[in-house]
Structure 1
Amino acid sequence: MSFLENIYLAGVIGEGGAGFPTHIKYASSPKYLLINGAECEPLLYTDKFQMENYYKEMLAAIQAAKIFLKAERAVLATKKRYEDLIGLFTQEIKDKNYDIEIFSMENFYPAGDEQITIYEAFQKAVPAGGIPLHVDIVVSNIATMKSIYDAQNGIPVTDKYLTVTGEVKEPKVVKVPVGTPLSEVIEKAGGSTLDEYMILTGGPMMGKFVTQEEAEDVVVRKTTGGILIVPKHHALVQRGTKSLTAIKNETRAACIQCSFCTQYCPRYLIGHPLHPHKIMRAFGIHDVYDERFAEALLCCECGICELFACPMNISPRIVNVFLKQELRKNGIRMSFETGPVQPERENRYVPVDRLLSRLDIRKYYDLGKPSYLEIETDQVRIPLGQYIGKPAVPCVKVGDFVEKGTLIGDLPMTDHGSRVHASISGRVTAVDDAVTIVRERRENA
């Protein structure tokens, strides 16, 4: 099998964001390969843990990917404060004579955002509304490279590393089968210090809220990066769970058009015509969501506008998420003209230390380095669509016995999607938009 076929067969997707199928992304001929090892969200330690423990495998995969893509340069971008890690990378590159460069960034947010990392490493701005390939770059998350390494050795994606932190007895990085309920992950990781809490999956800035009750049914996906537990009445929860009606009323009453949301917007600062303060003004006035709101399509949903910049505690990010859905629903697509990078950009970095304090989550950072734990489970519910693209088609039926790593969801290599594999050995008990497997020891196994 070829390098690309192995990636497809193993069901590898991008592990740093929306889950773009890697075999589709790598079916191109970029000039540059950029590996993102900066871990954008505060409090997450997942990528750093994997880099510390699997840097040799990751570098081998980067070198192989560079050769396959025929890229002129392969650049691994990480944070300057990871000095020990950079030393390990540098020595391994030297020992193996790899053609890989290391680029280090300051500890600001959103260092690790795909387009911001591109600008930092290459001084190239991705065109507004565009993708990295438009500037001849393919980007992969560093954790994806470990999965690519495994894929070349016939090992499919069945487990996920994620950070469990916040209101927990001890923060942990866990390795857990894909399809495990969040409630079980929290329990087996030691549990929460609170009787009642809210869960953020992903991180404090861009994570999705999950209630304790929902955590019984919400499962770990290939793209899950973290579980952050916070009090039910934490400011993050109060801000992030407001209704659109409440936000519209607050916008009408409180938005002072200070433009801080725009001035700190990382997309605006690299020349994209995105002006959140103008969008908020229009949102407060109009109830029809048409072309006048098109700039919202450029929002990367980083949350700086509402969680750091806005002095009035209103929510441009939530509004932009809503508007993007409405615009796409109405079939509104726009082309945008990219302007010059704003000269004040480097003075608008958001320091992570200040962000932690602003979000009132500094105490979770001070808990220190997470310990490591491997979690086993007796039942998983593995979604057949857990990435950007078409869901896989089930290729097992109720009653089938499957081993860990068995293909349970398939689709052609040319389709925009990813194969799905069993994350535990056991009996298939349900097949719908997911495959449920209950652990079972096979007779004479």
Structure 2
Amino acid sequence: MSKQLVEKIMRAGVVGAGGGGFPTHIKAQSQVEYVLVNGAECEPLIHKDVELMTHRAVDILDGLRLMMQATGATQGIVGIKKKNSRAVQIFKNAVEDTEYEVLELGDFYPAGDEYELVQLATGRLIPPGGIPLDVGCVVSNVETLLNVSMAARDVPVTHKFVSVAGLVREPKSFWVPIGTSYRELLTFAGGATQSDFVMLISGILMGGITTDLDDVVTKTCAGLIVLPSDHYLVSRKTRTPEQMNRIGKSACDQCTACTEICPRYLLGYDVQPHKVMRSLGFTTSGAEYWNKFATYCCSCGLCTLYACPEDLFPREACEQAKFSMRETGNSYQQEKAPKIHSMKNYRRVPTKSLLRRLRISKYEVPTPFVEGFPDPTEVRVLLQQHAGKAAIPVVSVGASVKICDLIGEPDGSSLGARIHAPISGRILEVTDSYVRITANAVVESGGESV
């Protein structure tokens, strides 16, 4: 049954829906002791996972059961923030008299980091540079497990659950076909409340930023956060690397605040952003030496957007450092086993403090689940929306497809995931990067939406 389940997950194109996009059938092939359900959802303003946990607990727990069955795990732990009391109670009731348990998490960022969740749930510390599998764990997002449950019923991933929040008239969470444009998401949320805005994709701290309403939803998209174009965060996130480096080189006074608040540093990993900042030119000892202190950075963004008193960019410096090390073939391995910092629990960043620091407290409102998203007349389905290589299109222009039909396939020799049609219709365009489909209603009307 385990091999059959792994095959079903692979055929359904299930990947990590929480943002990583790692193909789930690879995780399902491992043998572990724990399966941990990541329902922490610690990015500010995004509330899609708590809505899923409130409305689809049965499916999520079914996915947990299936992943435990596939991996041979004996313990299943569901991590939910204690503040989400309704979801906590729903799951506590659902796991009563079962082998599963609920872990109530504090309201801090980043509670959903894999290293953090594994330590909180099991007391184990992942080896430096390692993965949860190294300590007998598989970690899966709640939506990923819902998709595993659907895959067991031979239903592939064709839709994504998203939240739209911020500067919109009707903040809400809902299902949309993959490949739907951001424009249609905004329309369903009542539109932006002012004309001059930008969109943060999937999160304030770790998400991207765009003004392109024709960008589309992928399997890893958590939703949109709409902010005024003159917001503090927008100015921070739109600086060029050259500007960030110049400011850092001239203003960093090596106060170490970025390091002292770093979640990975506090867990005992040798992440020291203040030393990485030296690679911008403060010393003559060479970037090759200072860059190594970025090796285990998880890019959570706290150092840049919360800790630094000078509003500098240590996270971005760490990302540059990691890229430079890859390009030059340099590597670093922490020799000492990680040891939790004695001040760790006292340096956690409460979500409310983060909201105030980022000047977004007024946008922190519920995004309730609603149904009724209108069928799009056209979708543009990206072939690269997962870890690994892009899928290869298996359809041609003019062909008819039905929802759930396969339209993209991994090449078989590398990491990848299948892609399926999210709507029924006709193939309008096929490229190396996407497949564009027009809906049947448009085809039947001769090109006009009906």
Question: TM-score range, shorter-chain basis?
Answer: over 0.9
Counterpart in 2 of 1:377?
376
Counterpart in 2 of 1:331?
329
Counterpart in 1 of 2:308?
310
User: Secondary structure of 1:164's partner?
Assistant: strand
Q: How big is each residue's C-alpha offset from its partner over 1:320-362, in whole Å with a ceiling of 9 and x where there is no partner? A: 2222223223333322234311110000110001111111100
C-alpha contact 1:248 1:284 (8 A) present in aligned 2: no
C-alpha contact 1:126 1:134 (8 A) present in aligned 2: yes
Correspondence 1:388-403 to 2 at 5 A: 388-403=387-402
User: Secondary structure of 2:298's partner?
Assistant: coil
Counterpart in 2 of 1:219?
216
Instruction: Report how far residue 403 of structure 1 moved.
Output: 0.6
Instruction: Report how far residue 230 of structure 1 moved.
Output: 0.7
The correspondence for 1:290, drawn from 288, 291, 294, is 288
Runs of 4+ with deviation above 6 angstroms? none
Counterpart in 1 of 2:167?
167
User: Secondary structure of 1:298's partner?
Assistant: coil
Unaligned runs of 5+ in 2: 445-450
CA distance in 2, matches of 1:407, 1:117: 35
CA distance in 2, matches of 1:332, 1:321: 14
Q: How big is each residue's C-alpha offset from its partner over 1:265-297, in whole Å with a ceiling of 9 and x where there is no partner? A: 000011110100111122233797535302223
Q: How big is each residue's C-alpha offset from its partner over 1:289-322, in whole Å with a ceiling of 9 and x where there is no partner? A: 5353022231111111011111000011122222
C-alpha contact 1:63 1:98 (8 A) present in aligned 2: no
CA distance in 2, matches of 1:183, 1:113: 30
* Identity over aligned pairs, percent: 37
Please tell me the residue identity of whatever aligns with 1:90.
Answer: K
TM-score by length of 1: 0.94
Instruction: Report how far residue 48 of structure 1 moved.
Output: 0.7
Correspondence 1:8-407 to 2 at 5 A: 8-94=10-96, 97-211=97-211, 214-216=212-214, 218-285=215-282, 289-337=287-335, 338-365=337-364, 367-373=365-371, 374-407=373-406
Structure 1 pair 61–129 and aligned structure 2 pair: CA distance change class (3 A)? same
C-alpha contact 2:80 2:103 (8 A) present in aligned 1: yes
RMSD: 1.7
Please tell me the residue identity of whatever aligns with 1:274.
Answer: V
Instruction: Report how far residue 102 of structure 1 moved.
Output: 1.0
CA distance in 1, matches of 2:425, 2:367: 35
Unaligned runs of 5+ in 1: none
Structure 1 pair 53–413 and aligned structure 2 pair: CA distance change class (3 A)? farther
CA distance in 2, matches of 1:411, 1:245: 37
CA distance in 1, matches of 2:369, 2:102: 27
Please tell me the residue identity of whatever aligns with 1:67.
Answer: Q
C-alpha contact 2:34 2:138 (8 A) present in aligned 1: yes
Structure 1 pair 371–87 and aligned structure 2 pair: CA distance change class (3 A)? closer
Question: How many pairs are equivalent?
Answer: 437
User: Secondary structure of 1:228's partner?
Assistant: strand
Structure 1 pair 215–291 and aligned structure 2 pair: CA distance change class (3 A)? farther
Structure 1 pair 236–396 and aligned structure 2 pair: CA distance change class (3 A)? same
C-alpha contact 1:174 1:375 (8 A) present in aligned 2: no
CA distance in 1, matches of 2:295, 2:210: 25
Q: How big is each residue's C-alpha offset from its partner over 1:335-394, in whole Å with a ceiling of 9 and x where there is no partner? A: 2234311110000110001111111100001x4443524242111111111111121111
Instruction: Report how far residue 120 of structure 1 moved.
Output: 1.3
User: Secondary structure of 2:213's partner?
Assistant: helix
Structure 1 pair 5–107 and aligned structure 2 pair: CA distance change class (3 A)? same
